Structure 1
């Protein structure tokens, strides 16, 4: 942990105290033992990586709330307590998706995980398929079709161009980077998680991206244009709860709440995968410990002029879900926040900025 980062911030926080500090006044002191204890609790085996929506994450949220209370930080404005519950609904797959392609007497079938990774596929999709090697060659020919994009390497702009041109799906070679994350990509939910009370932004519906392994692409190259059918049956949705943990220290100035500072981080991580705990000490127990240390310093020192909010979010690893709910239903007027200092992965040096 880079305690000098915390100390610099603590000194900055002291700069807006109610009464200017004399030169000989004691500077805010970072409690290394406190930071370590909070880090150990969050990143220890007992919390099993704090996976999104799990009881382990809930235990972490309650620990953060109890710590804020112990440090003299009040529950977030407009809330009965420190925890802002966020209800999540995630679609599930009833069976691995399959893609069947038929041309004349030839037939190829791809299976999710074994041959392909279809990203957020609909329950069913049927369309003619064609094969292209150049995404710009015939954009008018791809509308309503499944395109086998036979590029030498994975070409993201080319894939996006085909989807924007109206392709219902694009099959593209899996790059080494995609293959390195194959297990994760091929087991993702077949759709986005819905957050209760948060409206999804309206936008143009795009087709499906399907990554194919080398053997699958080799089989597809042998096919003439034909018909394809994608089947991705869905099961009952998965219901979960996560939390935003919110605390506040009100300032002494008459307009303290109108010029507030928000200190934030996320307390979740990846949880347990294939029996392995992903502890998430750096991502982002380090940031959560930093925010808690600011809460301890500001809660125990002289009263400051500005109001300070502390927000720790769950389910960041799945798309900032608790943070989205916070923005949709903030316990304060967002326009009253003068700044948000977000702490993300501060436990090790940034290789691009060593020593910073």
Structure 2
């Protein structure tokens, strides 16, 4: 999941066979075997894949393995593709020297950069006194004066306003975020041909920050010396189950195959929950659905690369889909399903953006144990690969387990800390609801105001 960064039962439906005009016999109940789930996890979260770092050879190795599993299950290449892999080039800026902050022509000490754009920042200082993201003022450089710090929502609001730099008081939260990033500033990459990220996020010690907020209207500069850029390749794995009705549309089931790789000290960030668990769900649904009769709708299974770097694999897929986006009836993303959330009903998975469309309530009506997201302040809907498709109009949601698990982005996110029985049951519970979606003519719709614009 991107930094701040689900027993259902249903009736087994008769499906149409491509080779016969009559209805097929009901599909035999499919049982997800715990040993399959464990084996998927054991490889994806193994030392051999070294944390599947975004846009690294380890990510490519993981994607190639997923693709081989798709082929083994009987999935075919997605329409128009010559293979099971889709690659894209990511440009990654790199800072060559220490960043420097100036206010009114005077240097400011103690700057810690959490996120940087690809070049120098310059603008007038605006002070935000409210902790409500909706009340964030517009400006090139914004300092958050409120002691309350909903940092991620504020950053998203600032980006939406076109801000270039967001300055905040150093706190335990900001120190924790820096630690999660390995102690170094994040400089977002971008897909080759796209515009780079344009906002910076930085902290100042409390005393320096308190002096800063007394200087609204001052000219602020953020110098980023020695900027260079490298290029790397990110890899998506795609597999396809053709449907019997070409006009019925396509279901998209997805997860992200990458994680955080190795920390500078060599520690492997295995990412067993985030998001090897989601990839395992996609694999086991592919195994189950490929073994049954063909559905009315086609089903596209995709495991994206470089979600952790900023959703680049899904962004590239959204710009280069193997089927027109207008043909994708819906997208279900699987993210961190490896543990039960204590805030959710027993066995339930949360649906991010539950109220944004009629998809979740329809799944629930057909036996899916799904529940609304109990963490709206975390903006999880916008923090996974579903968002890239939602921005383009596809009704797309993420199903997740314990989204605020203590192992999130920690070295402890290992297979030893997964609840494999819960995870197996969660995957099992989704088979019949997905079969129903694939057999039906249900077309989900955004509720009023539900489709995001950015």
Q: Same fold (TM over 0.5)?
A: yes
Give the match for residue 42 of structure 2.
Answer: 40
TM-score by length of 2: 0.62
Q: Matches of residues 224-263 of structure 1 in structure 2 within 5 Å?
A: 229-251=221-243, 253=244, 255-256=245-246, 258-263=248-253
Give the match for residue 345 of structure 1.
Answer: 336
**Is the 8 Å Cα contact of residues 73 and 248 (structure 1) preserved in structure 2?**
yes
Give the match for residue 139 of structure 1.
Answer: none
Please report how far the alpha carbon of residue 71 of structure 1 lies from its aligned counterpart in structure 2 after TM superposition: 1.0
> 1:335 is matched with which residue: 321, 326, 333?
326
1:209-229 CA deviation, whole Å, 9 max, x = no partner?
A: 432122533665798997654
Measured in 2, the distance between the counterparts of 1:146 and 1:117 equals 14
Measured in 1, the distance between the counterparts of 2:36 and 2:42 equals 10
Matched, 1:177 2:173: yes
Measured in 2, the distance between the counterparts of 1:334 and 1:165 equals 28
Q: Matches of residues 61-100 of structure 1 in structure 2 within 5 Å?
A: 61-100=63-102
Give the match for residue 355 of structure 1.
Answer: 347
Give the match for residue 282 of structure 1.
Answer: 273
Measured in 2, the distance between the counterparts of 1:305 and 1:165 equals 44
Measured in 2, the distance between the counterparts of 1:170 and 1:300 equals 51
Give the match for residue 58 of structure 1.
Answer: 60
1:240-294 CA deviation, whole Å, 9 max, x = no partner?
A: 111111111112x2x2464222211111111112322111111111111111112
Query: Unpaired runs of 5+ in structure 2?
Result: 1-5, 18-22, 132-136, 349-454
> 1:217 is matched with which residue: 209, 218, 229?
209
Q: Matches of residues 135-146 of structure 1 in structure 2 within 5 Å?
A: none
Please report how far the alpha carbon of residue 129 of structure 1 lies from its aligned counterpart in structure 2 after TM superposition: 6.3
Rg (Cα) greater in structure: 1
Please report how far the alpha carbon of residue 46 of structure 1 lies from its aligned counterpart in structure 2 after TM superposition: 1.2
Corresponding residue SS for 1:233: coil
Give the match for residue 284 of structure 2.
Answer: 293
Measured in 2, the distance between the counterparts of 1:85 and 1:56 equals 14
Measured in 1, the distance between the counterparts of 2:119 and 2:289 equals 52
Measured in 2, the distance between the counterparts of 1:145 and 1:266 equals 33
Measured in 1, the distance between the counterparts of 2:166 and 2:113 equals 12
Query: Residues 167 and 248 (structure 1 numbering): CA distance in 2 closer, same or farther, change over 3 Å?
Result: closer
1:189-230 CA deviation, whole Å, 9 max, x = no partner?
A: 44x422135x559xxx97654321225336657989976543
Measured in 2, the distance between the counterparts of 1:160 and 1:297 equals 38
> 1:21 is matched with which residue: 19, 22, 25?
25
Please report how far the alpha carbon of residue 176 of structure 1 lies from its aligned counterpart in structure 2 after TM superposition: 2.9
Corresponding residue SS for 1:346: coil
Give the match for residue 270 of structure 1.
Answer: 260
1:87-120 CA deviation, whole Å, 9 max, x = no partner?
A: 11021111121124467xxx65435xxx422632
CA RMSD of aligned residues (A): 3.8
Please report how far the alpha carbon of residue 150 of structure 1 lies from its aligned counterpart in structure 2 after TM superposition: 4.7
Query: Residues 297 and 207 (structure 1 numbering): CA distance in 2 closer, same or farther, change over 3 Å?
Result: closer
Query: Residues 167 and 338 (structure 1 numbering): CA distance in 2 closer, same or farther, change over 3 Å?
Result: closer
Return the structure number with greater strand share: 1
Query: Residues 80 and 221 (structure 1 numbering): CA distance in 2 closer, same or farther, change over 3 Å?
Result: closer
**Is the 8 Å Cα contact of residues 121 and 165 (structure 2) preserved in structure 1?**
no
Larger CA deviation: 87-96 vs 161-170: 161-170
Query: Residues 125 and 282 (structure 1 numbering): CA distance in 2 closer, same or farther, change over 3 Å?
Result: closer
Pick 1 or 2: higher relative contact order, CA cutoff 8 A, min separation 6: 1
Measured in 1, the distance between the counterparts of 2:52 and 2:200 equals 31
TM-score by length of 1: 0.77
Matched, 1:307 2:298: yes
Corresponding residue SS for 1:210: strand
Measured in 1, the distance between the counterparts of 2:182 and 2:266 equals 18
What is the number of residues matched between the two proteins? 329
Measured in 2, the distance between the counterparts of 1:330 and 1:110 equals 47
Please report how far the alpha carbon of residue 127 of structure 1 lies from its aligned counterpart in structure 2 after TM superposition: 6.0
Corresponding residue SS for 1:310: strand
Corresponding residue SS for 1:276: coil
Query: Residues 291 and 134 (structure 1 numbering): CA distance in 2 closer, same or farther, change over 3 Å?
Result: closer
Corresponding residue SS for 2:79: coil
**Is the 8 Å Cα contact of residues 59 and 305 (structure 2) preserved in structure 1?**
yes
Give the match for residue 193 of structure 1.
Answer: 189
